[in-house]
Structure 1
């Protein structure tokens, strides 16, 4: 694009920006639909199981993330967000590595790290046979999370495109004869 004349380059950047804006609008509409569908399914599950059977009291005391959001650089150098399965590493423990007091008799055995299994399905917090609507709610919110990552990537591209348009407009304005 750097070899094109400024008006043609501006046109191509504007066209890409408009396409990105159109995609952003479509993804936001899809995200709103997924979230609304998820809340509807969740309310159906509360109705089927009872209001007190689906709520914060059933959450596990220690929750593990099932997915993580990662960033990577695309071909154009802009960050791209993607949703991946949860990391196999537990959160780092903060504090001293050794105890302040040590016993001098014998060697202290260091516990071997336990192999990390995949985090359990959160639907099991609500029982073994959960209603289908609860599974639908989980699927809707998972799809919504993927859409949110796509929207964040698009928003980054749009912000970059807007800055490119401003820079090209300024360059075009300065290159016009009689501009002072």
Structure 2
């Protein structure tokens, strides 16, 4: 009876694992398509604006992330990745602005901390009126980032499933030495 329950659990885990593998393959194909579409749109933008107008020389001297990757642990103990829009302040900027207090002569004014501006859209580095193909490239790469986070979560779930599958196979071997 225990072997039958173990086999049923093994079968359901194997079906879940195969479904996850199929989903991972679908997401990989979608990621490849998005990246290819992004590079194609970027090359169209370079053609429309000129090769020297879209390149590393137009990047800002200080870049700030638009999205951050976060992780959490699900109920079953697996990690899940997702993207969140970056806030106006990054963790490196949190804390005192000066390392020590100084005594000054005369009336003292308390300087108000300057709020950090929200992350600027990188498309503005290339001018105000950018071609539509540059916006398409940005959208394609953003979708690719989301797909990459989904794929990382899925890969963790697949690895966990494979380990569970091996454990169940070992238990089945111990119950029925000639089986599995």
Shorter-chain TM-score range? 0.7 to 0.9
The answer to whether the 8 A contact 2:89-2:118 is kept is no
Deviates more, 1:85-94 or 1:116-125: 85-94
CA gap 1:80/1:107 in 2 versus in 1, 3 angstroms? farther
Cα offset, 1:117, TM superposition: 3.2
Query: In the alignment, which residue of structure 2 is the partner of 1:118?
Result: 118
**How far did residue 175 of structure 1 move?**
1.2
Aligned length: 177
Q: Distance in 1 between matches of 2:131 and 2:97?
A: 45
Q: Distance in 2 between matches of 1:173 and 1:122?
A: 58
* 1:153 equivalent in structure 2: 153
Relative to structure 1, the CA distance from residue 45 to residue 167 in structure 2 (aligned partners, 3 Å threshold; closer, same or farther) is same
Secondary structure of 2:82's counterpart equals: strand
CA shift for structure 1 position 5: 1.3
Runs of 4+ in 1 over 4 A off after TM superposition: 93-101, 106-110
Residue by residue over 1:27-65, the C-alpha shift from the partner in whole angstroms, topping out at 9 and shown as x without a partner, is: 000000000000000000000000000000000001111
8 Å contact from structure 2 (residues 66, 86) kept in 1: yes
Any gaps of 5 or more consecutive residues in structure 2?
none
Deviations 1:45-87 (A, max 9, x none): 0000000000000000011111111111223221110011103
Secondary structure in structure 2 of the residue aligned to 1:75: coil
Could you tell me whether the CA contact under 8 Å between 2:87 and 2:118 is conserved in 1?
no
Which range moved further: 53-62 or 108-117?
A: 108-117
- Provide the TM-score with structure 1 as the length reference: 0.88
Instruction: Identify the residue that residue 31 of structure 1 maps to in structure 2.
Output: 31
C-alpha RMSD of the superposition: 2.5
- C-alpha distance in 1 between matches for 2:80 and 2:106: 52
Change in CA separation of 1:97 and 1:108 when aligned onto 2, cut-off 3 Å: farther
Residue 176 in structure 1 maps to residue 149 in structure 2: no
